[in-house]
Amino acid sequence: MIDQIVATGEFKIVCIREVSGDEYHRRTLSPNDDISGESDEVKAVCNAAWTDEVKAAYSAALEA
C-alpha cells in the first residue's frame, strides 16, 4: 500500500513510500521514467509535477 507520494527538488523527483506490514519500501521516479504501470494516484502526482518546463530542464541537465 502506498502511504506517501512527494515531488521534490528542482526536477520534481517523485518519491514513493510503500508499507507492507512493518516494513517500508521507497523508490523514486524521474521525469523521463515510464509511469504507465503506476497507480492512478502516482500518475496524478507525476502529471501535476512534471510540467513541460520541468521535463525540458531535466533532459537538458542529463545532456550536460
Could you tell me the strand order of the sheet in which 13-20 lies?
2-8, 13-20, 23-29
- The whole-chain average pLDDT of the chain stands at 97
| pLDDT at site 62 | 96
Q: For 1-64, where are the E strands, in sequence order?
A: 2-8, 13-20, 23-29
Distance CA 4, CA 14 (A): 10
pTM of the model: 0.93
* Cell matching residue 44: 496524478
Range of the domain at 28: 2-63
Span 13-64, pLDDT tens digits:
999 999 999 999 999 999 999 999 999 999 999 999 999 999 999 999 999 8
How many independent structural domains does the chain possess?
A: 1
| pLDDT at site 54 | 98
